[in-house]
Each structure stands twice: as C-alpha cells, then as structure tokens.
Structure 1
Amino acid sequence: MSANPRSAVISGGRAITEYTLDALQRSVLFCDVLRQRSQDYYRHKAMTIPHVLGFDLEIILDARNFERPVNFWLARIEPPAGVVIDPFKRPFVVFDPRAGQGPGIGGFKADSELGVAMQAGHTCYFVGFTPDPLPHQTIDDVMRAHGHFLETVIARHAEAEGKPCIIGNCQAGWAVMMLAAVQPELFGPIIIAGTPLSFWAGLKGQNPSRYSGGMVGGSWLTALISDIGGGKFDGGHLVSGFDNLDPANSLWNKYYYLWNNIDTEAPRFLEFEKWWGGHADLSAEEMQWIVDELFIGNRMATAKLVSGDGTRIDLRNIRSPILCFCSEGDNITPPPQALGWICDLYSSDEEIFAADQTIVYAIHESVGHLGIFVSGSVARKQHQEFSSNIDLIDILPPGLYEAVMTPKTDDTVNPQWVEGDWLVRFEPRSLADVAAVVQPNLDDERRFATVKRISDINLGLYRTLLQPLVRAQVKAVAAVTAQANADVTEWLHRLTPAELPYYLFSERNPLMAPLASLAGRVKKARKPVSDDNWLLKQQENYSRSVVAALDGFRDFRDGAIESCFMAFYGSPVTQAMAGLRTADGAPRPQPGQSPEGIVRIEQRLAENSARIGKGGVHEATLRSLLYIAMGGDGIDGRSFNALHEMRAEYSKPYRPIHLKQTVREEFFALKLDQQAALDAIPAMLSVEPQFASKALSVIRRVVSATGKLSAEESRRLAVVEGLFAS
C-alpha cells in the first residue's frame, strides 16, 4: 500500500525534472532565435535594396534617378527553374504595400502572387521601394514614377496579347487605382488585394481601427511624429498599429508557438519576421496626404481627390476590369472597406453599365490580411484562378460580378476546358448585393465627417502654435549631437515598440554576446519532454488563459473606444460645433457625372447605335453568345476556353484585345436595343455566309460547355438558331 504513493511521488518528480529541463532548453533556444532575428534584421537593413522576394530579380528602373526622384524601383522577376514563360502572354506587375514594412510580400513564397502568375506562363515584374524616402517626395511624384514604370513594361511587351495585369496589395492598391483613373490607357485587368478604398466603412463591433483618427483628434499627431522624425514618418509606428489590433497574437501567440515548437518552428518564424520587421519610412508630405485625404478624409471614393496638375481622380474613368479580393478574416481591410467605394460612386446598376466598368469581387471566408498576398494554402485557389482566367476577366461585359469558385472533380463537365484545380464562374451581382456586405450607415458618415472637420482645425492649430517650436527643438537637439539630426532620429526609432526588441536581442547588447555559444551547447544536449508529461497540459491551459485575458482586454478596449467615438462624434452639439448641419443631407453625396463623363457616355451610345447592324459572322457569333449568357446565372471559364479553342472554325484569327473591344460593342448593342440587335443578325451573317453553319455549331458547343442549359438559356438558343436559319 505504501509503495504506490511513493512511486507516484517519484514519477511526479521525474515529470517535473524532465519538464523543467525541457523548458529551460526551449527558453535558451527561443532567445537565440530572437538573437538571430535581430541579426537578420540588421543585415537586411544593410542591403543596398532590401527586399524579401523569394525569386532572383533584375532591376530595370531606379526612380531615385528620375527628374522627380522617389524611392521606388522596377524589377523583372527571374522565373524559377522549370517554369516556362510565354512571351505573348500579357505581363503581370505586382505593386507591394508601403505600410510600414519593406517590399517583397507579393513574391514572398513560391506560391505567392508572382509565383502563381509565372506558373501560368506570364512574365512578371515587381515594383518595390527602398527604406528611406527621398526628401519631400509626394504622392504625385510617386504616381508619375509608377506611370513611367508601366510605360516601360508595355514597351518591352509590345507583342503581348493585352496590356499588363496589375496587382496592387493593400495600400499599393489605392495607389494603383489612382494612377488607373488618371492614365487608364496603361492598364490591363487590375487586381486589388486587401485594399482599403472606403476608409470610413465598417461594421459596429467588428472594425475598431477605423476610429483611430478620431480618438487622437485627427491628423495633427501625424504631423508631430513626422516633425520629430526630421521630415520622415517612421514605418515602425504603422507596424505597431497593426500589432495592436490583435494583442493576443502579437504579444503572446506567435512567441508561444515558437517557444513550444522551438525544434521545428525557427525557420518559418525567421522567414516571416524578416519581412514584418523590415521597416520602411514615408516622407512627411506623403504620410500627411495619406492621412488627411484618405484615412480621415475618405475622399477617393467620391471623386474629390485632385492630382498635383489639377486632374480630378475619378475611379469611374478606369477602363480596365477591376477585381477586388478581400476576406472576412481580414481585420486590417475588412470587406466593407474593400467594397464600399462601389456604393459610394454609383447609385444604380445602370450607372455601372453607363460608365463601361467591369467590377468583380471575391470574398474569402477566413484568410487573414497577409495571407491574401502570400497566397498560402487557404488563398492559393484565388490567385491560381485569377491568373488562369485573366483573359476572360479582361473581356467580361460591363457590370458587377462575384467570382464563385468550386473544386474541379471527376464529375465536372468538360474538364479539358478547366484551367487549374478550380472551376470559376463570374456571377452577375447588383449594388444591393454589395450594399448587404458594406451596410452603409448615414449616421456613421456624419460622425466621420465630423472627425475630418475637427482634424482640420486641430492640424491648423498645431501648425500655427506648436510646429515651429517642435521643429526648432529637434534642430537644437540635433545641433548638440553634432551629427545633424541623424542620431536623434535613430535613437527615437530604437525606442519604438516595433524596433526596441530587435535592438535588445541583437549582439549590440553585451548581454547577448554569449548566447550563441550557449545555444549551441543546449542543442547538443537537447532532451525534449515526453508527449505524455502532465505538465504539458498545464502549459497549454496557461497559454489559453493568457490568450483569453488578452482577447478580453482587446474586446473591452475596442468596445470602450467605439462607445466613446459614437457618443462624442455622434453628438449633435459636437457636429454643430464642427460646422456640420443635419439639414445638409449626406456629408459625402455621391458624385455627379463630370462633363467629360457625360460626353463620353453620349458618344458611346451614338457609336453603338450606329454599329448595331454592322459586322460579320464573328460579331454575330459573339452577339448570340452574349444574348444566351445574359439569360443564365453567370459566365463560366469553360465557355470562354471553348470559344478560344474553336475561334478558327468560324472566322479569321483575332487578338484578345480585339475580342475585348468586340464583346463590349456587342454587349452594348444588346443593352441599347435588344430586339434590333437580334434582328440584325441575319444581315450580319450574309456578309460571310460560308461561315454561318460553322458559327452556329460553335455556339451550340460553347453554350453546352458548362453542362445542361437552363430553361431560359434553351429558349434563347432556340431564338438564335431561328435567326441563323433565316
């Protein structure tokens, strides 16, 4: 009887000893990984052009040498071994976000955006930037440089079948959209991934980051930080802001996971941290413009922005298809902020047609903000299908669509016309569908409009009363150091939450000097704890309690911030003091049509009216296919691939760019006067009667590429067959 308790005590003592040794070893190795992270960080900063791209590259242009220099560069990406590039396919150009981190997330891994595009045979280019902006560079300077980059890519691929496909990640997405609104002729399809375009949008209780500007009284703090930084805004502050959104992950989970899996997790941790910690600054002029005009002003989605040369930046001027990829799991750019601009710009579906715009959106159910760019396993299907179907996206008729993807199976009809592992359909949607996601709220609009007005007042007061003193003090301190303001700025940077851990764990800290040697000895003597040790369960329970506490703190903090924001900025007194009157209606009314826009629409209508009866068998075939497709529930990739394969059977060869133009012309003919457009088909066929029967055969095979037709599609096919027989 007495042996069992003693045995239990001995067993428990062994478990404690085993766990204690393991925990100590893990802690030493954990600290050594943080030391390696710091060393990687400083090596990365010392690079001539720091980046984390997983591919070799060739620098094509360095905008630091431009007439109006900026810290951006254009590179051609070298395809990996075994990847075959088709020189006639349109090139892809990836623009990376400039939101605190350095460039490279769009080509971080083999299955990221660049890797997937190259696997599909496209030449790829990448637009990156150096950590330090040029003095006083502006958003207009950056736009000008980006435009020159795209002109260079187009000139290098004059024989390609279409203009470049542009991918804009996060903040690079709105920069791409601004340029496309001013120089639409430079763009093929535009993919904006995790891009905020409607900065006031969001759902109560879910998107607290949108309140940040209001809670600090506006953009005066941005000006103060830039002044303290000697004319630069430290990117580490932006990274800290992202970390604060999820303190359980930034303060505990990612470090606990590393410590708990120290024998296997270090390479992945170091790889990601190399990008996350590679901070890049912005000029004071850039950051102030971004905060005033976009984050707080929210002026892009209502065509109120004006470029430096006086050009109005109206997203309705974009002529290329726009594909918005966002995710429910993204706490930085939630779907309302990614899609709200559509509701801001347009009041009806007819306005989208009249503007000749094609807008496609895809909402992932779970992937996080960074996963959208990296194209991890949860988001790889979207990047694969966007790349594989980019030519179909480019010729989609004007309108609003949702990209719906289903897995390719053994039961899939006509699998030979499915590129990749997923079947993609572009299903028509309405503004009401987008509004159900965005949930526009007029009361919130008034609150954020009040923030903007108070921000302007506070910024004006800061610039008048405090800015001269702050700048003078910074210069005085810099003079004492006798090294301009470089030392002051550097030390202030080291003390930021985003920078301090790197300095503390680097070998610049004398306490870290013996760590590498100690870690080497620990690895040789490593004794992992057994899986059945009862203390591991206690460890997991403790970790869950820490996460629960941090999540509880986050929820309380976010709830308190939201309540304060809603109460203060929703007060009629606060709004009245800011000069906002309830009788004024919506604080951001939808923009009316510009005179040039009205002229363009009228000209387009007149051209399409005159063109209804023109064309031959090629135009008649596309008109017939569009007529049948308009009776269905979407456009399937198989139909396009089937048509592309059969095009030589009924007409002379054509380039995709001509196909896009013809599709749009035939779509507008059907929209303008459907009956007249159908009645003209027999006369169009008579121009090339020898192809008529082959064209009808192609039509039947193309519409059946997706399987059984709906009743309405069958009826429309019968109408077309009658027209071809007459």
Structure 2
Amino acid sequence: MPSQDISNAIIATTRNALPVLDRAPSPPTGWPADPVGSYCLDAAQRAILFLDVLRQRGNNALEYAARDAPNVLSYDVELVLHGHDLDRPVNYGLVRIVPPPGAVVDERKRPFVVFDPRAGHGPGIGGMKHDSEIGKALEAGHPCYFVGFLPDPVPGQTVEDVCRAEARFVEEVAARHPAAEGRPVLIGNCQAGWQVMMMCAIRPDLPGPILLVGSPLSYWAGIRGQSPMRYLGGMLGGTWLTSLAGDLGSGIFDGASLVTNFEVMHPENHYWKKLYDVYAKVDTEAPRFLEFEKWWGSPVLLNAGEMQYITDNLFVGNRLSTGQLRTSDGLRIDLRNIRSPIIVFCSWGDDITPPPQALGWILDLYERDEDVVSGGQTIVYTLHPSVGHLGIFVSGKVATKEHGELVQCMDLIDLMPPGIYEAVITEVDEDTANPQLVHGRYLFELEKRSLDDVRALVRNNPADDARFEAVARLSEVNQGLYATLARPLLRAMATPAAAAAQRALHPDRLRFTAFSDRNPWMAAVGPWAEMVRRDRRPADARNPLSALEHLASDGIEAWLKACANTRDMLVEQIFLSVYGSPALQAVLGLAAENGGPPRRIEREVVREASVVARRAEAEAAVARGGAIEAFVRAVMYILRPGGRVDERGFAALQELGTMLPEHERPGLACFKEIVRQQFVALEADEERAIQALPRLARSEEDRRRVLAGLDHLLSLRPPLLGEQEARLQRARGLLEPLAARRPMRGHVAADTAKADR
C-alpha cells in the first residue's frame, strides 16, 4: 500500500478521536508530502537528540561528583566557616552569598541564613534560581548566607554534632552584623527544618524568626488517603533495614536510596512524564531538564549512625515534638524553649510533607491556646493549595509570591504578640485600600487562629497514633534481633571496596553513568546529534501521528498513576489492618482500650513557674512606660476584636517611627519587647490596662502625639468594626488633652475621672 494511502487511512481512523482534524492538513512547503514520513523523520531525530540529552546528563553528573564542594547555587559564594575546622568536625560549611551585579545589600537589615536539606540529594536547592529564597532575600536588601554540605560525611559525626555546628554558624553570622535590626532569619528547607529546630531548642538565644519550608516535624500525622509515605516504616517492619544498609555500606548509608524513595512515590513522573516531556520538546526542554537533574541526580552519603538516629527517633519514633530526645550531655531537646517566631510554609499538594506533618507538632506541644500565649510563642503558618514538594522550593511562581512576601514581612512577623496566626497572601486589586503601602503585587495579612483551627487541619486520629506506636515498638524488637543475630556477621563480611562498588551500581546512579561518555556505546551519539541539529525537521504540530503520540503518552501516564494510587491504597489498608490488630498491640505492650497514653510533651514545674513569674512582672509594669507604650497598648486594644493585621499597618508604624526624634526611636528589639509587654498586660487584665493609658501618656504633648499617631495609623487600614470603633472612642476619651475634652457620659467619663485622680 502506498504511503499516501496509509496516511489517509490513519487520518480517517483518528478523526473521531480528534475533532480538530476536519481534513488532512496540507504539509508545509518543502517537507515530506505525507504525514507518516514527516513524523518518522521527526521521531528519529528526537530520539537521537534525547539520547544526547541523557548523555549530557550523565557527563554532568560525573563532572559534578568530581568537584570538591559540588552545589547547584546560581550565585558566587565566599567561604566563612568550614565544618572541618570545628572542635567536632562535620561535613557542613557556611558561605556568604556574593550579591550579583545590581543587588544592593543593606548591612542594617537582618541577615538571612538558608539551611539546605541533607536528604540524599546534593546542596543548593534554596538558590538554584534567581527567583528563589536567596534571590528574594537579596532583592529585599538582606545579607544572605548559605549552609551546605560535602558529599562525604566526616567519620563519626552525629546529628548532634551537626546541630552544634549550625549553632556556631549562626553565631558567626550574628557577629558579622552587629548593627543589624534583629537576629538572623533562619530558613530550614525540608529535612533541614527539623535540624534547625533542634539547634534552636538547644540554643534559643541565637535565632531570629525561623521559616520552615516543607519541613516534617510530626511524622505520624496525616490524612488517610493523602499521606502514603508515613506508612513506609511500618511496611518495612521498622528501622532494621536502615541498619542493614549501613552495615552493607561499611558504615555509610547511601543517600541514593532516599532519592529513590521520593522518586517512586510518583512513578508516572519518574518513569515516564519527565523523560517524555524532554523527548517531546527536545528542542527547548533540554536546558531546564539538565539544570534540575544536576541537583536531583547527585546523591550524597550519610554516616550509618546519622541515618539510624533519624529513622529511629524521627521517622518511626516521632520523639522530637514530644520532648523525648536528649543531647549527649543530658539536655532535653524541648521545642518550647524556642522564643523566636516560627513560620511554617506547607502545601496541600505536597505528599512528602503534607500540612498535618508540618503542623502537627503544635498540638504535641500545646493543649490550650493559653499555653501558646503564656509560653511566649508566635506561630505563623501559610498553606499553598497545590504545589508539590519540590515546587515549594524551586517554583519561580512560589518564590515570587510566598517566599517574596514572607521575606518582605519578616519584621512584621517578628513584632507579632504570642499566638497562632495564618498568613494570607492575596493579589492587590482596585478595591485594595492604600495600595501605596503594599510592597509589590500581593497584600500580606496575618489572621488570628486557634489550636482548634490547627486540629481541623491535622485531624489527629488516636487509633492511628496507636498503630504508629505499635510500629515504633515493633521496630525496637526487630532492631534488637538484627543487632544480635545478623549484624556481627555482616560487618565482618562488608569491606569499603565492596560498599563502594555497591554504591556505583545503585540504580539511581547507574541511570546517569550508563548514558555518559564512559559507556563506549554512547560514543556515536554526540556526532549524530550535531548532524541532526544542522538538519532538524520537526513534524508539523497538526500531524495526526503527533497527536496520537501525545494521546499514548497521556494513557501511559494515567496508567502508571492508577498503579501508584492502587499501591498506596493497598499499603494503607494493610498497615491499618496489621497494626490496628488488638492482639499485635497487646503483644507489644499497648493498652487494649486506647493504645497507651497519648503522646504529649511533659509538664515542667520550673517552666510553669517561670511563665507565672514573667506574667507577674508584666502585670506589675502595667502603669510603667511612656507615650510609645501608650500608643502600642491603645492600638492593640482597639484592633483586638478583629484579629487581623496586614503589612499596611506595619508600613504606617515604620513611617510614624521616622517622625520621632532620633533619640526617642526604639530599635526593633526594644519595640518587640514593648509589644510583648503591652500584649501581656492586656491579656492579664484588659480593663486595668486600658484605664492606665493616661498614666503612660502623662503630658498633654504626649497625648496629642499618641492621638495623632492613632489617627494616622487607622486611616491607612480598612474601616473599623463596630466594637473596634467603640474601643477607639473610649481610648480617645482617655487620651484627649484636658483642655480639649468635652463633657462625656457613661464609662468614658468615669474612666477619665478615675485616671486623673
């Protein structure tokens, strides 16, 4: 059959599936006359170019691995501190980001320190692009630092050693910026988040605001049907396989296994979509693919002891947020020690660290809203509706919106009184009041939330907690059996050379090196690709065979995704059935009724006494202060019923601050303490605190300044609610200069007379 007849037959059979094909398209001038020939030529050329992309990817991986300190940062850096030089050496280091041309850094602004996750892949994700966490901090004028790591761990280093090294890094950054308004902002990405939190719990004097991006802290939390990775420990029988991998690796755990765990979560993307996208758009997609694969395809190593600590105490044991971890010198790692604001950025599209795992630690630490406030803790969370785990770090849209707004409004967050807030970021439109006070395209608002709001997001299930407790106990049993029966023999058999060969043959590495120039079968691909590029003939977009190719790709992707969904559903059902068995739980020592006592952090008499003492001190200072204290207290009293603050009010506060004489302007740290004291005073006894306003602003000049500040600030925000308006009038009545007062009725006149006496 002639090729033209074949083409006509294909067009006829696909017309119903593709309504856009009303008739066979006319091929462009100079191209093959029939769609079959055109498509076959295009497909063959794309195959050669695709192989060349894989060859470049393999060569990049080899070149990247040969570097002394590989990373994918898109910025120049200067080494500040090397972990090898510390008392307890580690493979981490601190570098300063060199601002690119055109970037202006203000040394008076607080520095930002980005901590990279060591979860198998190489360092640099926080600064892969200029639209990134580092990029947005530099754009806002902040000095930036980066904490990364080398591919090979220092023999004997521990998780605690890394935490103490990170504390030393933060000390160094703070010492380099003595004039900065505020302590350094710490950004912990993914697995770096829990490590930063451990460090801050040990050294709460060091950090400023702490931003956790896609960071798991509550490892048992999750919603059924949405959090499949939390079942992995149970399906493997605990952490004994981690020990096995470390022993076979001669004391080294291969991070490639962690990367593989992430990849197989979405086989439709790993095995098909991301590769097909390159093949289908090989003329344009290669640079983006190669850039990302440099980071994703370069796994690093961990000491077996480090990985064992992580799996035993975090992934399976879930001991961090419940205060069950201690340092080598006996100090309990209690996250309630942290006094800096904690900002959590997570996404409903992230099935590696879903919002319940990013926020569940709050419920482990606090039972009542009063506990959050009395503990002096400010917690802010923001939820993205759809971005995936990697997108939360590398997406340019996320960097431009969420990361950009969080960077710009970090000082506002640092001033917020204790409590739980949700950050809501909306696009500015024609209805936005005072848009001149909004930085950029988005309005940043903080809305008051409660522990009940967090519970609605986390959805803790006591029965599921009992199942995970059973996994933790079974893991200890299996780990003991493995250590007794198998470990001595395996350690005697394992050698460094065998371990190195095993790592080189790991499928996650082999898929790179097998297509590199080390493979002699790939020698001809480079020249072929150059020939194809000189005579590239892509098929017409209207070619029916191209449409069939896309349909087939969509079908393969959908099938792989359905397989993954079925797998996840079966894993969940098996996990719930096995570990929900009353018999198994009883054998493992759990109470049959409820699976044992709830996992909650312990109470401490000393901590509670300290909280009471701080509150008593603040209450005693209710009548101490001046005009600034009166202004802050009045603003908080007026706006208290609304429970919402946005960046326009903070911009107005900054503007008001510039109107004060130089000697009267409080620094950010001093102003934060004033805000905290006034908040505690209002929480303890609102009536007494508001009646004391005239005793703070004693002179008529002070009262005029306070009232003028109130008028200016409130004019730059949305209209007050009914109760807020009544509070404003009451505050005015208390603060009006004596000569300007009018006869008043009701509680305003009574309050003023009482204050004057």
TM-score, normalisation: structure 2: 0.92
* TM superposition shift of 1:3: 14
Q: Partner of 2:262 in structure 1?
A: 242
* TM superposition shift of 1:678: 0.6
1:149-298 matched pairs, under 5 angstroms: 149-298=169-318
Provide closer, same or farther for how the CA distance between residues 584 and 254 of structure 1 changes in structure 2, counting only shifts above 3 A. closer
SS at match of 2:95: strand
1:642 pairs, out of 642, 649, 652, with 652
Indicate the percent of aligned positions where both proteins have the same amino acid: 47
Q: Partner of 2:141 in structure 1?
A: 121
Q: Partner of 1:709 in structure 2?
A: 720
CA contact (8 A) 2:7 2:36 kept: no
Q: Partner of 1:18 in structure 2?
A: 38
1:95 pairs, out of 115, 124, 138, with 115
Q: Partner of 1:662 in structure 2?
A: 674
Code of the aligned partner of 2:691: D
Q: Partner of 1:528 in structure 2?
A: 538
2:694 pairs, out of 664, 670, 682, with 682
Aligned mates of 2:323, 2:488 — CA distance in 1: 34
* TM superposition shift of 1:9: 6.7
1:722 and 2:737 matched: no
1:546 pairs, out of 531, 556, 570, with 556
CA contact (8 A) 1:231 1:283 kept: yes
Q: Partner of 2:740 in structure 1?
A: none
CA contact (8 A) 1:445 1:586 kept: no
CA contact (8 A) 1:454 1:578 kept: yes
1:624 pairs, out of 634, 651, 657, with 634
Superposed CA deviations along residues 224-270 of structure 1, whole A, max 9, x for unmatched, are: 10111111110000000000110000100000000000000000000
SS at match of 2:657: helix
* TM superposition shift of 1:8: 3.7
1:51 pairs, out of 68, 71, 75, with 71
Provide closer, same or farther for how the CA distance between residues 641 and 557 of structure 1 changes in structure 2, counting only shifts above 3 A. same
CA contact (8 A) 1:38 1:503 kept: yes
Provide closer, same or farther for how the CA distance between residues 513 and 648 of structure 1 changes in structure 2, counting only shifts above 3 A. closer
Aligned mates of 2:9, 2:635 — CA distance in 1: 80
1:40 and 2:52 matched: no
Q: Partner of 1:352 in structure 2?
A: 372
* TM superposition shift of 1:10: 11
1:513 and 2:533 matched: no
Q: Partner of 2:615 in structure 1?
A: 605
Aligned mates of 1:455, 1:448 — CA distance in 2: 10
* TM superposition shift of 1:7: 9.0
Provide closer, same or farther for how the CA distance between residues 5 and 452 of structure 1 changes in structure 2, counting only shifts above 3 A. closer
Aligned mates of 1:667, 1:633 — CA distance in 2: 13
SS at match of 1:118: helix
Provide closer, same or farther for how the CA distance between residues 601 and 165 of structure 1 changes in structure 2, counting only shifts above 3 A. same
Aligned mates of 1:197, 1:222 — CA distance in 2: 20
* TM superposition shift of 1:490: 2.4
Note the residue ranges of structure 1 that are not aligned, 5 or more in a row. 476-484
Superposed CA deviations along residues 194-228 of structure 1, whole A, max 9, x for unmatched, are: 00000001111111100000101100000010111
* TM superposition shift of 1:377: 1.1
Aligned mates of 1:57, 1:7 — CA distance in 2: 57
Superposed CA deviations along residues 330-381 of structure 1, whole A, max 9, x for unmatched, are: 1110001001111121111111011110000000011111121224214521
1:314 pairs, out of 334, 337, 342, with 334
Superposed CA deviations along residues 521-579 of structure 1, whole A, max 9, x for unmatched, are: 11112110111110011101111110111011101111111111111000001101111
* TM superposition shift of 1:599: 2.5
1:459 and 2:470 matched: no
Code of the aligned partner of 1:314: D
SS at match of 1:58: strand
Q: Partner of 2:707 in structure 1?
A: 696
**Greater displacement, 581-590 / 431-440:** 581-590
Q: Partner of 1:482 in structure 2?
A: none
SS at match of 2:264: helix
1:262-411 matched pairs, under 5 angstroms: 262-411=282-431
CA contact (8 A) 2:104 2:141 kept: yes
CA contact (8 A) 2:62 2:513 kept: no
CA contact (8 A) 2:422 2:446 kept: yes
Q: Partner of 1:560 in structure 2?
A: 570
CA contact (8 A) 1:64 1:71 kept: yes
Aligned mates of 2:8, 2:579 — CA distance in 1: 64
Aligned mates of 1:585, 1:501 — CA distance in 2: 45
Provide closer, same or farther for how the CA distance between residues 667 and 375 of structure 1 changes in structure 2, counting only shifts above 3 A. farther
Aligned mates of 1:7, 1:429 — CA distance in 2: 63
* TM superposition shift of 1:587: 4.0
Q: Partner of 2:14 in structure 1?
A: none
Superposed CA deviations along residues 429-457 of structure 1, whole A, max 9, x for unmatched, are: 01111111110000000000000000000
1:489 and 2:499 matched: yes
CA contact (8 A) 2:61 2:513 kept: no
SS at match of 1:356: coil
CA contact (8 A) 1:132 1:282 kept: yes
CA contact (8 A) 2:59 2:513 kept: no
**Greater displacement, 596-605 / 239-248:** 596-605
**Greater displacement, 496-505 / 616-625:** 496-505
Aligned mates of 2:589, 2:309 — CA distance in 1: 23
What value does the CA root-mean-square deviation take over the aligned residues? 1.7
Provide closer, same or farther for how the CA distance between residues 501 and 723 of structure 1 changes in structure 2, counting only shifts above 3 A. same
Superposed CA deviations along residues 153-193 of structure 1, whole A, max 9, x for unmatched, are: 01000110000000000000000111111111101000000
Q: Partner of 1:481 in structure 2?
A: none
SS at match of 2:486: helix
Aligned mates of 1:255, 1:145 — CA distance in 2: 39
1:429 and 2:440 matched: no
Code of the aligned partner of 2:338: I
Code of the aligned partner of 1:696: L
* TM superposition shift of 1:592: 3.1
Provide closer, same or farther for how the CA distance between residues 18 and 576 of structure 1 changes in structure 2, counting only shifts above 3 A. same
CA contact (8 A) 1:442 1:586 kept: no
* TM superposition shift of 1:595: 2.9
Superposed CA deviations along residues 105-160 of structure 1, whole A, max 9, x for unmatched, are: 00010010000001001000000000100112101110110010000001000110
Aligned mates of 1:586, 1:641 — CA distance in 2: 51
Code of the aligned partner of 1:135: P
Aligned mates of 1:7, 1:613 — CA distance in 2: 90
Superposed CA deviations along residues 376-429 of structure 1, whole A, max 9, x for unmatched, are: 214521111111111101010000000011112243211221122211110000
Aligned mates of 1:443, 1:534 — CA distance in 2: 54
Provide closer, same or farther for how the CA distance between residues 6 and 249 of structure 1 changes in structure 2, counting only shifts above 3 A. closer
Q: Partner of 1:594 in structure 2?
A: 604
Q: Which has the larger radius of gyration?
A: 2
Aligned mates of 1:305, 1:3 — CA distance in 2: 72
1:108 pairs, out of 114, 124, 128, with 128
Q: Partner of 1:472 in structure 2?
A: 492
**Greater displacement, 657-666 / 510-519:** 510-519
Superposed CA deviations along residues 70-107 of structure 1, whole A, max 9, x for unmatched, are: 00000000111111111100000000100011110000
* TM superposition shift of 1:280: 1.0
CA contact (8 A) 1:371 1:379 kept: no
Provide closer, same or farther for how the CA distance between residues 47 and 4 of structure 1 changes in structure 2, counting only shifts above 3 A. closer
CA contact (8 A) 2:463 2:595 kept: no
